[in-house]
A and B are shown apart, each in its own frame.
Chain A
Amino acid sequence: MTGDSDELPERTWYLVLLALGPAVWAIHFVVTYATVSVWCARLVERSGSVAPVRSAVIWYTAGAMVAIVLIGWSGYKRHSYGGQPPPHEEDTAGDRHRFLGLATALLAGLSAIATMFVGYSAMFFETCW
């Protein structure tokens, strides 16, 4: 156990990484919303087709999902470090590392569901309104 501290020095970055999955969701959401808004407000008429927007949203969603899966995978790997199961509540560098990994993976999971659900909702539309 004591060897953990040398192997797993504390990195504030891992706390930031925790929020990175939801941050990708947020970026996906904002970019999708901006695309839809600009398309519908500036580029087409009220009854104009949104087919190009749908294609764009598919690409955005695919890109966001790749990022989220990578983040989730990195979290899962850290969670599996040393093969100890949760609840990761020991006062050791190893459990701290595993906990941050697990939380990152869980948040990536939630972000994946949210990203796909939001992207999916745009697929039902033929026109802006």
Chain B
Amino acid sequence: MKSDPEPLESAPPPRVQRGQAERLIRTWEAPRGWRYWSEVNNSEVGLWYIGATLLFLAFGGVLAVLMRIQLATPDNAFLSADLYNQIFTLHGSVMMVLFAVPIFEAVSVLLLPAMLGARDLPFPRLSAYGFWSFAIGGVFVCGSLFFNIAPRGGWFMYPPLTTSYDGGVGADVWLLGLSFIEVASIAAAVELIVGVLRCRPPGMRINLIPLYAWYILVVAGMILFAFPPLIAGDMLMELERELNWPFFDARRGGDPLLWQHLFWIFGHPEVYIVFLPSVALVAMMVPAFAQRPMAGYSWIVLAAVGTGFLSFGLWVHHMFTTGIPGISLALFSAASKVVAIPTAVQIFCFIATLWGARVVRTVPLLFVFGGFTTFVIGGLTGVMVALVPFNFQAHDTHFIVAHLHSVLIGGTVFPVLAGFYFYYPLATGKYLSDRLGRIAFWLIFVGFNVTFLPMHFTGMRGMVRRIYTYPENIGFDTLNLVSSAGAVFLFAGFATFFWDLLRPKKHAPYAQRNPWKAAGLEWLAEMPAKPWGVRSIPEIDSRYPLWDQANLVRDVDEGRFYLPDAEEGERETILTTVIDARPVQVLRLAGPTFVTVWAAVFTAGLFIFSTFDMWSEAAVSGVLALVTILVWLWTGTSLIPEKTEKSIGLGLTLPLYATDHQPVGWWAMFITMLGDFTGFIGLIFGYFFYWTSRPDFTAHPQGPGVFWPTLALTLALASWLLTMLARRANARNRGPVFQASVLGAGLAAIASSVAMIAGPVVTGLDPETHVYPAIVWVIVLWTAAHLAVGAIMHFYCSARRAAGRLTATYDIDIVCVTLYWHFVAVKVLIAAGVLAGFPVLS
């Protein structure tokens, strides 16, 4: 009955197998010597990424210990108030932005291709660029502490504290350093979404994908809608700090609450962005330890997708005490309670799977159970603080500190530690120590509870967060001392874990293959793993292929499935369709290069020089970044293959270049532009927020008038139509028409950009005087910048066609640029409509 292809009936002769394996190794092995750092393969980049996040975890952990030493006794002078401010700010920022989010990206970059039986994710260079950006940005932000210039406004950087009362560069380090790192997260989101949707092995239909992939799809989607509003907010705050544009200055019409909105639209989903990938790891471990399929696969999909959405309706519960109307608070309080439903559903599924199974008791499972209990405590206190009246009492006290640590350590850190013990053999071929693992677990589990359980009471007794000391005999002394004692255990536990991770294992035996008898494709890996990822890409018939598909390991190893060779010495993987994973293309993947490192260095230069007001150096860096990225695109993307198609075994021949209208580049552009569009909507939200919060917002608008925005819109629409015309002309191979329309589109885009800026210039809007001109200016600049980037894309396509790198058949460049312009057209329409139309209406 089955129509799926079966593996080859007999193995290829050993000589053929050896030849294939040699060619695969030659193609996939990392460069040696200093060139090693030019590698872009996920198995190397993933390890570097994980290594860097662990360093930041250790750094953040040491900061936590310093805080607990300071708070151990009353009137302690161990840390000064200023240093304490820097330390708690960095601790929160580092743990959230340099550990919790990137560890998910790092683990996914390393594991996702293996789980999907892919050789790599579709944009290896993008992953490498993301990693280098993250590493440089992270070192910059952490390093600021050693020069006593670290941010000191708390991890959420509330203005006016950070705009009017913080003169140093600390806030700029935070705003620019972390914005830069967020770019890396968006890059990872692009990579992971396209990976899950298009790089699955043939036959892995959407109802068969590993639960991990579902979670990652949801989380990557959340990043696109959560991070850009913060980037928009960062931009506003930086403009206020550097150029005195009064976005958060109430005296000139601004409103500090806008920052809180933009921050928490990011900040609350962020909690789930770090929580869901950890649950995803649990969802991979639980069936392995129960040795049976997960109960309620569809219910877990419900939980992942449902939590992803609902988590966006909670942000105001961080702002219950800011004077927002009670009826609004009720809406957010209700949503905060509803999110408990999908969160609980997945926990129940895990318990149901383990219930009655002959569970294999191991260190990872210990951490999973520790995580469950801790997370449930945090979840229940979460329901408490979702109640508005209780929240009024607990707000800004140590009760909140205890709650958030229970959620984050229970929901994120414990499962990640479990993941380390579970997946360590896959990454290194060796086991972590069972004995040290148990010691680490109990130290961390006991240490955590001794530290944070008393903190609930410290908070309810009234101890406020973020104060560097307290007087004696007001009821805080013993509780704080107990918490600090617990921190010692916690620290010892993590030290044990790090020692286990780093201790030399040269003489330790290799782990056996698939040591947990798990069912996922990642366990096809040999010990130690080969650089090719998977020897041949299997046809999948089940959710648990290693359990259900007989002889799968043998067939994969002997190259009886797809793509068992690298005849041309090119790195390749199979692209499949979104729903049924039908193979449609062999994707050529980019190999090692330093261009991604340079692109990250120059992008970092742009942000870091800006922090210190070194504007000319920043500008030079920015231009160099742009040039490097163009070189990267020109030499490494949309390459015309030497032949149109190739045979990949089992009678299947696939094209080497996308033949449909949605190549992976199209997906990447679409996803990036969704994120970009969210940032833009964040600014438009700001415009209307000021309108609701300030009665005089558009009372006397001098500009930008109707004429200039309308002219900009007309020119932008002309550019958009010309872009589509260029795409048609290219498809029909009419070179001159293509060149005329694409160059015309570029010029129209530049003219539109100029007209956009002319609006506020001609009407004399001074952004320093009031928030109205300031927000108009920022929307104008954002739109104009996108028009200018669009023009660069036009000229790039013109040059590509002239150089013979863009043809009627090989047309990905213009396909992607057209998609970019669809988004720009909508953005200019909204911007012009709001800026020109709204003052007239109101």
Contact = CB atoms under 8 A, between A and B. Distances in A.
Check if A and B associate: yes
Given A26-B309, A122-B330, A117 B337 contact: yes
A55 interface: no
Interface string A103-129: 100110011011001101110110011
Contact of A10 (B1, B293, B580): B580
B334 interface: yes
Contacts of B309: 19, 22-23, 25-26, 111
Contacts of B337: 117
Contact of A19 (B206, B305, B313, B543): B305
Contacts of A91: 2, 4, 203, 205, 208, 540-542
Contact of B299 (A95, A106, A129): A106
Interface in A72-121: 86-89, 91, 93, 95-96, 98-100, 102-103, 106-107, 110-111, 113-114, 117-118, 120-121
Contact of B328 (A36, A102, A110): A36
A62 interface: no
B302 A110 contact: yes
* A interface majority secondary structure: helix
A119 to B, nearest CB: 9
Given A15-B206, A103-B298, A33 B331 contact: yes
Contact of B331 (A1, A18, A29, A98): A29
Contacts of B328: 33, 36-37, 40
Contacts of A114: 310, 313, 335, 338, 341
Interface residues of A, number: 53
B335 to A, nearest CB: 6
Contact of B338 (A87, A100, A113, A125): A113
A5 B579 CA distance: 12
A70 B301 CA distance: 20
Contacts of B578: 10, 12, 15
Contacts of A5: 3
Contact of A87 (B2, B3, B297): B297
A26 B314 CA distance: 11
A120 B203 CA distance: 45
A76 to B, nearest CB: 12
B327 A50 contact: yes
Interface string A4-45: 010000111011001100110110010011001110111000
A22 to B, nearest CB: 4
B542 A15 contact: no
Nearest to A18: B305
Given A14-B579, A89-B542, A107-B305, A100 B207 contact: yes
B798 interface: no
A93 B580 contact: yes
Nearest to B306: A110
Nearest to B225: A26
Contact of B334 (A10, A26, A121): A121
A14 B578 CA distance: 11
A41 B692 contact: yes
Contacts of A118: 313, 331, 334-335, 338
Contacts of B1: 1-2
Nearest to A5: B3
A19 B580 CA distance: 18
Contacts of A71: none
A91 B207 CA distance: 8
B333 interface: yes
Contacts of A15: 206, 578-579
A40 B298 CA distance: 41
Contacts of A99: 206-207, 298
Interface string B685-721: 0000001110100000000000000000000000000
A14 B203 CA distance: 18
B312 interface: yes
A68 to B, nearest CB: 12
Contacts of A25: 309-310, 313
Interface string B205-223: 1111000000000000000
A65 interface: no
B605 to A, nearest CB: 39
A64 interface: no
A118 B317 CA distance: 14
B338 A96 contact: no
From B205, B310, B313, residue with most partner A Cβ within 10 Å? B205
A103 B305 CA distance: 10
A73 B302 CA distance: 16
A112 B325 CA distance: 25
A106 B341 CA distance: 12
B447 interface: no
B208 A53 contact: no
Given A19-B309, A96-B580, A41 B693 contact: yes
B207 A37 contact: no
A92 to B, nearest CB: 8
The 10 closest A-B pairs by CB, nearest first: A22-B309, A99-B207, A10-B579, A121-B334, A106-B302, A121-B330, A41-B692, A128-B325, A40-B325, A91-B541
Given A10-B577, A111-B309, A118-B335, 17 more contacts: A10-B580, A14-B579, A15-B578, A22-B309, A29-B331, A36-B325, A36-B331, A37-B328, A38-B692, A40-B327, A41-B693, A87-B297, A91-B4, A95-B207, A107-B302, A110-B310, A121-B330
18 contacts: A19-B305, A22-B305, A22-B309, A26-B309, A29-B331, A41-B325, A88-B298, A91-B208, A106-B298, A110-B306, A114-B335, A114-B338, A114-B341, A118-B331, A121-B333, A121-B334, A122-B330, A125-B327
